Amino acid sequence: MKIVIVGGVAGGATTAARLRRLNEKAEIILVERGNFISFANCGLPYYIGNVIKNKKDLLVQTPENFNSRFNIEVRVKQEVIKINRQEKNVLIKNIETNEEYEESYDKLVLSPGASPINPFKNLNSDKIRTLRNVEDSIEIKEYIEENNAENVAIIGGGYIGVELAENLSHFNNVKATIIEKASHLIAPLDEDMSKFVYKVLANNGVNIILNNGVKEIINKNDKLNIELEDKNIDADFVVLCIGVKPEDDLAKQAGLKVYPKGGIEVNEKMQTDDEDIYALGDAVKIKNCVTGEMSSIPLAGPANKQARVVANNICNIYTSYDGSIGSSILKIFNYNLGITGINEEACKRNNIKYKTIILSPFSHATYYPGASMLTIKAIYEEETGIILGAQVFGKDGVDKITDILATAIQTNMTAYDLEELDLCYAPPFSSAKSPVNLLGNSIVNQIEGLVETITWQEVEKITDKNTLVLDVRTDEEYISGSYKNAIHIPLDDLRERLNELDKSKTYLVYCKTGLRSYIACRILSQNGFKVQNITGGYHFYSIISFIHEV
């Protein structure tokens, strides 16, 4: 059997290695248009910021090592430019010599990846770049160092844009500005949780411009003048991090099924509508496990899993790929952000009846040194308590909590299941009641009617004079800052001061994180008062109301 693989990195190289482990006799040819077949593209911003100091550390496998270990023929700087399905061959162009030749196949695997979106291709300037591969990261780093670039504009506030902004801060003279057309950074985040990212970046000197698309970029006096929707700014250098689009041109040319908005169509075996052609990675659309929607999820984790499925099925080991929930994690200076499952926008788009809850537990037992506060926003199905999505922010334990919740989402677990999870505990690592257990408790309390919650966004919209906000924090906390016009009664004084409250009114109760206010709600509701607990507490309010002038 002869297998030709188009493209390396997570999808193609992993497929090739798995194929060889399953079939020692197969002829396997990997064709890659770049210089490297397998590199850590997630590490590119960190190479630019000199966190990863040696570019060789980005290379997972060299062509020579890959060939010697797996007996796979690797052809770099060569590009497949046409698929002839009837003849079962591909036309390959040698990029260095322009020579073209045909290569036959029994099975063909398409792993061309995705290309960065660049609406400014007509601008002939070495001051504007995209970041896709090792060569790009080398050129960006060298340009900034050699030209003493001081003002770098990053167009696009997604994962790569945020990571790049942090890494540019490692240059003493560089000021980074993120320009984002949407209303918030990191599209998979809900807007309220995105404020945490905004605040950390702003506090570390990153300029942020939101709700402002780029209309035009022009060369002007050795600078790049960026025309936005409502102002102009100058930059010494621009990196485009607008997003990526699936590389599906080969598939289109071959008449394979492609989605109208891009992305090769595959079945559960990662097989195209041609049984001898498979596709995977950033070039395909896959099912979102929560909503069932077909979507592009350009992440290394799904690509690696898909590679195993492709290789297995080529070798007649039936394996299915059932989709992804898009779990991801991001480092932002001294903080971390984890995202898994779907956000509120996806719930609304798919008419899912959902509720949200926000907790701010500590990463481990507070009596053990080094405990830090986490903020967890969970989205769950209103009637069943099934966990649909989660967003976790903090300094420590973010990866652990996000991974547990990702497992819960992928296995269709409910809040009742989270309550029962038997998780590791010792003071340096967690609390006797894990943040995940606490999350389950809090959701179950809502489902069973022990407390009704309200978000700060909903509080801000209330105009009814019979609805009042009650602060149950300590005197010291209240003096340091409070919600406007809030009534203040510390929790420990509440039972003795119930006569100060009016049972004809509704009280929206908050503390710092939501725990004491829950206790207050239980006291008040059992004494005949109408109450709602403000989810997230004052800690969350102080973040989502954060304003930073840039």
Name the pLDDT band for 65 (thresholds 50, 70, 90): confident
- DSSP assignment letter at 545: T
CB-CB contact of 308 with 319 (8 Å)? yes
Third-level CATH fold of 453-544: Oxidized Rhodanese; domain 1 (3.40.250)
User: H-helix or E-strand containing 277?
Assistant: strand 277-279
Superfamily of domain 128-242 in the CATH hierarchy:
FAD/NAD(P)-binding domain (3.50.50.60)
What pLDDT, in 10s, does the model give residues 170-189?
998 999 999 999 999 999 99
The verdict on whether 424 is a catalytic residue reads no
CA distance 148 to 470: 54
Q: What is the per-residue pLDDT across 530-544, written as a single tens digit (0 to 9) for each?
A: 999 999 999 999 998
pLDDT at 353: 97
Residue 320, both tokens:
């299915």
Task: Kindly state the DSSP code that residue 410 receives in the 8-state scheme.
Answer: H
Burial of 175 (C-beta count, 10 Å sphere; 0-12/13-18/19+): middle
In the 8-state DSSP scheme, what is residue 496?
G
Cα(443)–Cα(355) distance, rounded to whole angstroms? 9
Contact between 394 and 373 (Cβ < 8 Å): yes
Statement: residue 58 has pLDDT above 50: yes
Supply the pLDDT for residue 64: 85
Rounded Cα distance, 371 and 429, in Å: 9
Mean pLDDT in the chain? 94
Closest CA to 196 of 43, 328, 343, 334: 334
Token representation of residue 203: 């506090």
Note whether 359 and 376 are within 8 A (CB).
yes
The confidence band for 522, taking pLDDT boundaries of 50, 70 and 90, is: very high
Residue 120 predicted with pLDDT over 90: no
Give the tokens for residue 306. 């898909």
- Domain segments of the chain as ranges: 2-41+55-114+245-314, 128-242, 329-447, 453-544
What's the topology of domain 329-447? FAD/NAD(P)-binding domain (3.50.50)
Task: Give 171's contacts (C-beta < 8 A, 6+ positions apart).
Answer: 49, 144, 145
> How large a percentage of the chain has pLDDT more than 70?
99
Strand order in the sheet with 354-359: 328-332, 335-341, 387-394, 375-381, 354-359
What are the phi and psi torsion angles at 356 (to 5°)?
-125, 155
Q: How far apart are CA 445 and CA 29, in angstroms?
A: 58
Assess contact for 273 and 103: CB atoms under 8 A: no
Band (113; pLDDT cuts 50, 70, 90): very high
Residue of 42, 241, 424, 511 with catalytic role? 42
Q: Is the pLDDT of residue 25 over 60?
A: yes
How many angstroms from the chain centroid is the CA of residue 18?
A: 27
CA–CA separation, 236 and 152 (whole Å): 6
Percent of the chain scored above 90 by pLDDT? Answer: 88
- pLDDT of residue 548 exceeding 80: no
Query: Which sign, positive or negative, has the C-alpha torsion 46, 47, 49, 54?
Result: positive
pLDDT band for position 550 (cuts 50, 70, 90): very low
Measured between alpha carbons, how far apart are the two ends of the chain, in Å? Answer: 60
Higher pLDDT, 36 or 112: 112
Number of Cβ within 10 Å of residue 148's Cβ equals: 10
pLDDT tens sequence across 252-263 = 999 999 999 999
pLDDT tens sequence across 442-496: 999 999 999 999 999 999 999 999 999 999 999 999 999 999 999 999 999 999 9
Q: Concatenated DSSP letters for 340-390?
A: EE--HHHHHHTT--EEEEEE--BSS-TTSTT--B-EEEEEEETTT-BEEEE
Rounded distance, CA 21 to CA 464, Å?
Answer: 68
The pTM for the full model equals 0.93
Q: Please state, as a whole number, how many other Cβ atoms lie within 10 Å of the Cβ of residue 10.
A: 28
The whole-number average pLDDT for the span 38-45 is: 82
Residue 383 CA from chain centroid, whole number: 27
Residue 547 has pLDDT above 70, yes or no: no
Fold of 2-41+55-114+245-314: FAD/NAD(P)-binding domain (3.50.50)
- Whether 453-544 and 329-447 are alike in CATH topology: the answer is no
Which pLDDT tens digit goes with each residue over 122-156? 777 889 999 988 889 999 999 999 999 999 999 99
* Location of structure tokens 């609304």: 348
